Structure 1
Amino acid sequence: MFGASMMTETRSVNDLRADRNWWRGAVIYQIYPRSFQDHNGDGIGDLVGITERLGYVADLGVDAIWLSPFFTSPMRDFGYDVSNYRDVDPTFGTLGDFDRLLEKAHALGIRVIIDQVISHSSDRHPWFAESRLSRTNERADWYVWADAKPDGTPPNNWLSIFGGSAWAWDSRRMQYYLHNFLASQPDLNFHNPAVQDALLSEMRFWLERGVDGFRLDTVNFYFHSQGLENNPVVRPEDFNASTAPAVNPYNFQEHLYDKSRPENLEFLKRLRALMDEYPGTTTVGEIGDSQHQLEVMAQYTSGEDRLHMAYTFDYLGGEFSAGHFRKSIVETETAAPDGWICLAFSNHDVVRHVSRWAAREHQDGFIRMALLLILSMRGSVCLYQGEELGLPEAELAFEDLVDPYGIEFWPQFKGRDGCRTPMVWQAAAHLGGFSSAPKSWLPVPNNHLMRAVDQQLGVEGSVLSFYREAIAFRKMHPALRGGDIAMIESPDGVLAFTRSDDTETVLCVFNMTETEVIVPLEGLAPTASGAPGNSPEPVDGKLSLAPFGAYIGLIDRS
């Protein structure tokens, strides 16, 4: 099949698990199953389709894949509302299909990380169906329930990220239940030890099946304050719209009491103890907290008894500047010197970074510079399907939207559908080779077809070829995977730093502007590194960088 791997070596799960620290500096490729490859012709991607394309993923040179949720779900939030944590939704296939995917991935040397959405479940989950029946049943306190105020209004001012109050009324119990997202996504009560036990058991099910780790959705939302205090108003100088779009009133509160609670640290220790029973597995947490995200990331990843790594929204928001990146790097290193960040510029929740950050006339140069930048920064890296093709955000009509988030806040915020459209494999094929169905679940944009895999595969200078070369280059340099980082003074608009380990020091310089710059390299005399797309070597101690130009050189330490 198109996209079959050129790799001949096969590996077992034991081979992969032998390296317990593989995740540190790894490159992880995120797959959104609904949009990767449709095998059965219903217009929606599935696990068999992913399995058929694993050769393509292996040839990118990544260390692992992260699969967004494929569990049984009513799909109100497209899998992030789980009704059965131990089975595959029929939309995506069967448990047998997953086992075959896992086996093939491991044979190709690819580890498999799966999403775990445990801060909340679907309201169709049997646990919630029982919990809402009465205030006295065995699972009555498995979810977060509270009485109304005397006037019938919700218990406090907490807001849902998806709009409106975070409390929904249930006529069976005559109480409100908490939902940080959709009303059909009730929050589980982590203050109940039985809930923690049950969720860890669900995760053990997949570890026993052979998965290599978990991406933990909304990991800082697990606990709430049992006092149900009102959240305070955000001061104007502290306003930050990195977690939610600027038009969302969720940003108007400082979320002190509905998430990022200190009790979570003890649960994360329980979770890490479970992971340590399966050496070679890993965790990466999603931290959404506009005011305290670096502090929370440091708490969650420091030491050896919590998460292995986590990502924040520092690089998934709107600001792309050398100043912002320099500040974020310094603050991360200061706040979490022994923690570990997982870097991403794009994912299934945000506008693709090509459209978010790059002017149209500079997109090709920007794509290459941005990749070299993220592969040079300290941390592990998540790449999102399609970014290796240079795909921009899809422009969709309102009638094509299916994301409840975008429908709620249209037109100023268009939701997440624009980054979730199907992969394009063949420019001339129906629906870009994604599906044989008459129509796919989201449209395939015409301007994506010109960037299809078959238009770039094996083509020198293509974005896809550049991604392969850059990932291979990173693997050749241990300092880029796990070395220390030290910032270097540089002109405005330029980000410069070194990465160093016991074997080498690598100089990394990036022009993050649309104009040419000259960078003096006082006291530095780098030599050629062989980095793809490198700017010309320095002349007379000065480095010339074109708009969105990048230079990576080796420093002689002899």
Structure 2
Amino acid sequence: MTTDTSQYLGRQGADWWRGAVIYQIYPRSFLDTNGDGIGDLQGVIDKLDYIASLNVDAIWLSPFFTSPMKDFGYDVSDYRGVDPMFGTLADFDRLVEAAHARGLKVTIDQVLSHTSDQHAWFQESRQSRDNPRADWYVWADPRPDGAPPTNWQAIFGGSAWQWDTRRCQYYLHNFLVEQPDLNFRHPEVVEAILGEVRFWLERGVDGFRLDAVNFCTHGELKDNPPREEIVEGFIGVRPDNPYGYQLHLYDKTQPENLAFLERLRTLLDEYPGTTSVGEVGDDDSLGVMAEYTQGGNRLHMAYSFDLLGDRHDPAFLRETLATMEARIGDGWPCWALGNHDVTRLATRWDAEGHAAKLRLYLVFLLTQRGSVCLYQGEELGQTEAELTFEQLVDPAGITFWPAYKGRDGCRTPMPWQADARQGGFSRATPWLPVPDAHRGLAVDRQEADSDSLLNATRAFLAFRRTQPALVKGEIRYHPVRDEVLCLERTHQGSRLLVALNFADEPRELPAPRQAQGLEEAPAMVNGAWQDGTLTLPAYGIAIARCPQSDEEDAQWDV
């Protein structure tokens, strides 16, 4: 299924990214074409027609760079190399060309805060205290008793400091011990990193997803204070992980980071039409999202983990989104309900096998102000895979089992064909298993079903492209009424009302009399507007066009 792209209002111009829908691809699990059980760049190329048929605007490729794969590509040993398991630079160039031919932008991960300990920079840095790259990483002397310089904890467990016998110093690693942190206080490091980013800009990429972007700079070497209450949020903040026991005042989200983001933006501005979206993990992640995207000289967009937890009642969702709107000013958010780091949406938000709920969550995401990241498999309703300890490969899952089972459950292969070996993902045994439960969700089966979630996703994304108010419009939230989340989007004289019923039973609410349902809306938009009343089925969706001013609007705010 394809759409006339001439109708698309968001892809025009340098600000195509505002309101764009970006499809996240985890290459290891997308499609294996060479029979080694691991997805590759050719697999992405082979499925570009499928991706374009979803009516998304861009793809985001999770890391495919040269790496020892301790953290599956988020430990980069060569920023400019394609790991042989994924293909070659020539394959990547063909991917960019093929995507652009289909009207798809290409964004790629950049892991800038740290490298692999196998990177040539670190290999040189650790040799001595006086070599040319001696200060390219964060090194510190031990305390008088030999203990680490601070009490900082690593997200993947244990101290964030690792002793190195060559220098007789500790180095900082906020993640795995094999992922040493770069020293962004060193001007040569900043210049080197910007050079690595420029390499990919010259190859034609349209933007970057910046991993853990608020970790690039550290603060004074002081102990973090204890956290009074452990509330699960950003990955690593859990009762089973000492990382969550601290308030992270000194090890991340430092003011100096803004100077680097401004340098990065200056570079991107040399390449009109390119963009950036930063991943933010912090106690005040909404505030950091706002700060990092305001002013037009930092990141274009940022996203956080605020919608990636378990809680999803409409009051919480409204409060989170309204708070973001109140703080972001001229900045721009990017929203996601799933990615490669968190439990699959269908499982996390209690919607396994529940088509109406999954449609509701999809429309909720796609009617917010901001851009959207849609993780591969969400269009299928893919569920979290239940794996045994022996099947785990994620270092976080192995470390914290059984309290935390890690990220493998959301990274299992895409099911392309219900009846094919390995779900059509590979002709070999895949790096993670294909659960039997996922075969029923396979692409070929859903494409043959006009009522499937896959076809509903295509239909709503095609409809969204024709609605400027949903792509780039302003937003206003109305009070939650009887578990119905109500909002409006406005753009250049057009005003849309959106009502989303999170209840498991029908709802009837007062509504402006001039509200008129959209005939062009897909069938999943099933609410009825009539004579000042809105009727919604359980988990129902309603969208109406309404004049900018209406004397009966007060009913919408009851």
* TM-score computed with the length of structure 1 as normaliser: 0.95
Equivalence for 2:275: 282
1:422 alignment partner, SS class: coil
Q: CA deviation at 1:350?
A: 0.4
1:85 alignment partner, SS class: strand
Amino acid at match of 1:253: Q
How far apart, CA to CA, are the structure 2 residues paired with 1:485 and 1:387? Answer: 25
- Preserved contact between residue 168 and residue 177 of structure 1 (Cα < 8 Å): yes
- Preserved contact between residue 3 and residue 462 of structure 2 (Cα < 8 Å): no
In the alignment, is residue 303 of structure 1 matched against residue 292 of structure 2? no
1:383 alignment partner, SS class: strand
- Preserved contact between residue 309 and residue 341 of structure 1 (Cα < 8 Å): yes
Equivalent of residue 102 in structure 2, options 97, 108, 114: 108
Equivalence for 2:201: 207
Equivalence for 1:85: 79
Equivalence for 1:198: 192
How far apart, CA to CA, are the structure 2 residues paired with 1:387 and 1:423? Answer: 10
How far apart, CA to CA, are the structure 2 residues paired with 1:97 and 1:277? Answer: 25
In the alignment, is residue 465 of structure 1 matched against residue 455 of structure 2? yes
> Percent of counterpart pairs with the same letter?
56
Equivalence for 1:13: none
Of residues 526-535 and 138-147 in structure 1, the stretch that sits farther from structure 2 once superposed is 526-535
Q: CA deviation at 1:240?
A: 4.5
In the alignment, is residue 231 of structure 1 matched against residue 221 of structure 2? no
Equivalence for 2:446: 456
- Preserved contact between residue 513 and residue 531 of structure 2 (Cα < 8 Å): no
How far apart, CA to CA, are the structure 1 residues paired with 2:87 and 2:518? Answer: 49
Equivalence for 1:68: 62
Deviation per residue, 1:481-517 (Å, 9 max, x gap): 1111111123142211100011411111111232332
- Report how many aligned residue pairs link the two structures: 544
Q: Evaluate the alpha carbon distance shift between residue 245 and residue 418 of structure 1 in structure 2; reply closer, same or farther with a 3 A threshold.
A: farther
How far apart, CA to CA, are the structure 2 residues paired with 1:283 and 1:550? Answer: 32
- Preserved contact between residue 507 and residue 526 of structure 1 (Cα < 8 Å): no
Equivalent of residue 481 in structure 2, options 467, 476, 491: 491
Equivalent of residue 422 in structure 1, options 413, 417, 426: 413
1:505 alignment partner, SS class: strand
Unmatched tracts of structure 2, length 5 or more = 550-558
In the alignment, is residue 325 of structure 1 matched against residue 305 of structure 2? no
Pairing 1:345-424 to 2, within 5 Å after superposition: 345-360=337-352, 363-424=354-415
In the alignment, is residue 30 of structure 1 matched against residue 24 of structure 2? yes
How far apart, CA to CA, are the structure 2 residues paired with 1:214 and 1:270? Answer: 15
- Preserved contact between residue 245 and residue 413 of structure 1 (Cα < 8 Å): no
Q: CA deviation at 1:544?
A: 2.4
How far apart, CA to CA, are the structure 1 residues paired with 2:38 and 2:359? Answer: 31
Of residues 520-529 and 492-501 in structure 1, the stretch that sits farther from structure 2 once superposed is 520-529
Amino acid at match of 2:257: N
Amino acid at match of 2:131: N
1:310 alignment partner, SS class: strand
How far apart, CA to CA, are the structure 1 residues paired with 2:106 and 2:493? Answer: 30
How far apart, CA to CA, are the structure 1 residues paired with 2:42 and 2:517? Answer: 46
How far apart, CA to CA, are the structure 2 residues paired with 1:214 and 1:17? Answer: 17
1:303 alignment partner, SS class: helix
Q: CA deviation at 1:244?
A: 2.4
Q: CA deviation at 1:304?
A: 1.0
Pairing 1:338-349 to 2, within 5 Å after superposition: 338-349=330-341
- Preserved contact between residue 66 and residue 76 of structure 2 (Cα < 8 Å): yes
2:296 alignment partner, SS class: coil
Q: CA deviation at 1:241?
A: 2.9
How far apart, CA to CA, are the structure 1 residues paired with 2:3 and 2:100? Answer: 13
Q: CA deviation at 1:527?
A: 2.9
2:529 alignment partner, SS class: coil
Equivalence for 1:269: 262
How far apart, CA to CA, are the structure 2 residues paired with 1:17 and 1:454? Answer: 29
2:106 alignment partner, SS class: strand
Deviation per residue, 1:128-152 (Å, 9 max, x gap): 0000000110000000001111111
Q: CA deviation at 1:7?
A: 7.7
Q: CA deviation at 1:302?
A: 0.3
Amino acid at match of 1:545: L
Amino acid at match of 2:144: P
Amino acid at match of 1:508: V
Q: Evaluate the alpha carbon distance shift between residue 488 and residue 6 of structure 1 in structure 2; reply closer, same or farther with a 3 A threshold.
A: closer
How far apart, CA to CA, are the structure 2 residues paired with 1:25 and 1:354? Answer: 24
Amino acid at match of 2:408: D
Equivalence for 1:46: 40
Q: CA deviation at 1:521?
A: 1.6
2:418 alignment partner, SS class: coil
1:381 alignment partner, SS class: strand
How far apart, CA to CA, are the structure 2 residues paired with 1:487 and 1:28? Answer: 24
How far apart, CA to CA, are the structure 1 residues paired with 2:455 and 2:232? Answer: 37
Unmatched tracts of structure 1, length 5 or more = 11-15
Equivalent of residue 433 in structure 1, options 406, 424, 435: 424
